[in-house]
Amino acid sequence: MKYKNYRGSALQNVRSAMWRVFSSERLPILKANAGPTTIVAWKKLERVNECYRLLFQENHEGVYWVFLISQEAFSEVAVPTLSNIHCAFTLAVCDIFLNPRSKGIVCTEKWMKRRIENYIVSKYYKSIYIDSN
């Protein structure tokens, strides 16, 4: 039960961190009670697609955007050193939330687990976090 509560809190932290890092100028606001039609329309917006693409790119300081979201989502007090799991978790949430190919934003345990496992073994993923740390 504690894990589930922590996961829910971590999900919310990552979602909030996306808007803090990207800002509402870059990432349009999506209401928490948005219906499926609104979510699909939001994901089709070019600004949302740009944020999704940015996750896998470096900013002007040479830091990957997804790593900035991880740093923002997990405080240094609670998580002094970001682990691969924290980083893969962040990427999984961002992928579900921003990926224009998916129709929803609900981070089910099944979808999260599959993405986290894929990111941990991905050479591209490792280059993001090894280079950023």
Identify the residue with better confidence: 124 or 71: 71
What pLDDT score does 3 carry?
44
Task: Tell how far CA 127 is from the center of its chain.
Answer: 17
Query: Is residue 118 left, alpha or beta, with left meaning phi > 0 and alpha meaning psi from -120 to 50?
Result: alpha
What pLDDT score does 2 carry?
42
Whole-angstrom Cα distance, residue 109 to residue 115? 10
Whole-angstrom Cα distance, residue 39 to residue 110? 20
**pLDDT (tens digit per residue) in 63-120:** 889 889 998 998 775 666 777 788 889 999 999 999 999 889 988 889 888 888 888 7
Instruction: Give the pTM.
Output: 0.81
pLDDT above 50 for 1: no
**pLDDT (tens digit per residue) in 48-72:** 999 999 998 999 999 889 889 998 9
List phi, psi (to 5°) of 58. Answer: -85, 145
| Contact indicator for 67, 132 with CB cutoff of 8 Å | yes
